[in-house]
Amino acid sequence: MNDRRRTPTEALALLGVAWRGVTWTIPSVKRELRGWRERALCIPDPALRADALETLRREHMNAHGAALFAVLPRTRSRPLLRLLVAFQVALDYLDTVTERPALDERAHGDRLHRALVDALDPNATPTDYYDERPWEDDGGYLRGLVETCRRECAALPGYSTVRPYALSAASDLSVQVLNHLTHPAERDAAIRAWADGEGRRDSELQWFERAGAASSTLGIYALLAIAAASQLRANQIRAVDAAYRPTVCLLCTLMDSLADYEEDRATGVHSYVARYGDAVVAIERISALVPRALAEVRRLPSGPRHAVIVNGMVAMYLSKQGPRSALLRESSRQIRMRVDWMAAVAMPVTRIMERRRARSTRGREPQNTE
């Protein structure tokens, strides 16, 4: 479909996404997050309680981003929305907890992140995710997130069909544990070993790009969204999985890394963008992925709505507040030349939302009662 024919279709899709978001998705996500905050307030361990509350405060927009995939089905699916929010809350919580010091960082992180695989497997038997640190007690908070995901997976009519693909993507998320390893040499060697082993499926990518693509959850969310349908064809599932993994997922990871580039460089945190070694190469790579990702999702059923999501993701990262290095400014300029009208429309809106969020959270500390 050429651009002239595509624009009216995608304009209608954008209006549909916006309408469902305002009338249902956004209020529902806020309600779900309030419920998880109430659960977090009951965590016995003060450090874990602080981690959970601070993560919910700082990363709540991630849940809204995940829930955007609830617009893909033709009709509203409350199990899907609850699943998307609970999985993202679990992911953000684990991302925070695994940054805390541990005697065996990798073993601790691997055990915790096992929860993300169990969350998408209604047939699994949940384990003790804290057995590497048995003195920690979250009062069932993580187990509650896992059980909610498992219950809502079982409620999706087509989940049994997408389950193998979703579990494969969730297993790949274990690479996130490696991103948090303290020692750079150990971290780099571990990520490369993972990419050369588990990530070898995407052989056309550089080794760190394979790891970066595996670090994103967008492919999982797209699969969960189509599972809301009762009748799914195998080729449809494969097409969605192939469109998001690796192209859309890699773009998401690189955009996130780009937005945090200055902060990561100052703190020594692992940066996928820095892996390119040359700013020009990094900018060109990210810029080239934008039209490629859009082209791939537009070929899918409900392609216009997939395109809305990808454009919204790009706009969100381009509008992110924070220190803007020369790399970020030049990257933003180059990427804006590659995005289409939807991202251009979404950028000022997301910039306003980001500023409002920053003002609303500035100076606020999570309630943490002993």
Alpha-carbon span 97 to 105, nearest angstrom: 11
pLDDT tens, residue by residue, 59-79: 998 999 899 999 999 899 999
Whether 338 is in a domain gets the answer yes
**Contact at 8 Å (CB) between 213 and 249?**
yes
H helical segments located in 244-302: 249-259, 261-267, 279-298
Whether 217 is in a domain gets the answer no
The domain in which residue 55 lies consists of 26-173
pLDDT tens, residue by residue, 177-220: 998 888 889 999 999 999 988 755 666 899 999 999 999 999 99
What residue type is assigned to position 249 of the chain? C
Query: Where does residue 302 fall: left (phi above 0), alpha (psi -120 to 50 degrees), or beta otherwise?
Result: left
What residue type is assigned to position 271 of the chain? S
Q: How far from the centroid of its chain's Cα atoms is residue 253's Cα?
A: 9
What would you measure as the largest C-alpha separation in the chain, in angstroms?
Answer: 61
State how many domains the chain has.
2
Residue 245 and residue 352 in one domain: yes
Q: Pick the last residue of a domain from 173, 202, 219.
A: 173
Q: What is the pLDDT of residue 159?
A: 96
Whether 190 is in a domain gets the answer no
CA nearest 31: which of 80, 64, 73? Answer: 64
**In the predicted model, is pLDDT for residue 222 greater than 60?**
yes
Whether 313 is in a domain gets the answer yes
Residue 144 and residue 252 in one domain: no
Question: Which residues have a Cβ under 8 Å from the Cβ of 16 and sit 6 or more positions away?
Answer: 71, 305
Residue 34 and residue 167 in one domain: yes
Residue 60 and residue 162 in one domain: yes
Higher pLDDT, 290 or 332: 290
Q: What is the pLDDT of residue 366?
A: 44
Residue 262 and residue 347 in one domain: yes
Residue 35 and residue 168 in one domain: yes
Q: What is the pLDDT of residue 199?
A: 56
Number of residues written out for the chain: 370
Could you count the other beta carbons within 10 Å of the beta carbon of residue 339? 20
User: Which class for 261: exposed (0-12), middle (13-18), buried (19 or more C-beta within 10 A)?
Assistant: buried
Task: Report, in angstroms and rounded to the nearest whole number, the Rg of the chain calculated over CA atoms.
Answer: 20
pLDDT tens, residue by residue, 298-345: 999 889 899 988 988 887 777 665 555 666 667 777 776 666 655 555
Alpha-carbon span 279 to 261, nearest angstrom: 11
Whether 327 is in a domain gets the answer yes
Residue 52 structure tokens: 């959970």
User: Which class for 63: exposed (0-12), middle (13-18), buried (19 or more C-beta within 10 A)?
Assistant: buried
Q: What is the pLDDT of residue 94?
A: 94
Alpha-carbon span 259 to 129, nearest angstrom: 31
**In the predicted model, is pLDDT for residue 3 greater than 60?**
no
**Contacts by 213-216 with C-beta closer than 8 Å and gap 24+?**
213/245, 213/246, 213/247, 213/249, 213/250, 213/253, 214/169, 214/172, 214/173, 214/175, 214/245, 214/246, 214/249, 215/173, 215/175, 215/176, 215/179, 215/249, 215/253, 216/248, 216/249, 216/250, 216/252, 216/253
Residue 166 and residue 95 in one domain: yes
What residue type is assigned to position 108 of the chain? H
**Contact at 8 Å (CB) between 306 and 222?**
yes
Q: Pick the last residue of a domain from 136, 153, 173.
A: 173
Whether 349 is in a domain gets the answer yes
**In the predicted model, is pLDDT for residue 360 greater than 70?**
no
Could you count the other beta carbons within 10 Å of the beta carbon of residue 236? 17
Residue 30 and residue 169 in one domain: yes
Whether 288 is in a domain gets the answer yes
Residue 238 and residue 165 in one domain: no
Higher pLDDT, 13 or 94: 94
Question: Which residues have a Cβ under 8 Å from the Cβ of 218 and sit 6 or more positions away?
Answer: 244, 248, 249, 252, 313
Give, in order, the Cα–Cα distances in Å from 61 to each of 11, 33, 51, 58. Answer: 24, 10, 17, 8
Residue 43 and residue 125 in one domain: yes
User: Which class for 365: exposed (0-12), middle (13-18), buried (19 or more C-beta within 10 A)?
Assistant: exposed
Whether 208 is in a domain gets the answer no
Residue 128 and residue 267 in one domain: no
Residue 158 and residue 45 in one domain: yes
Instruction: Output DSSP code: residue 247.
Output: I
Question: Mean of the pLDDT values across residues 229-243?
Answer: 91
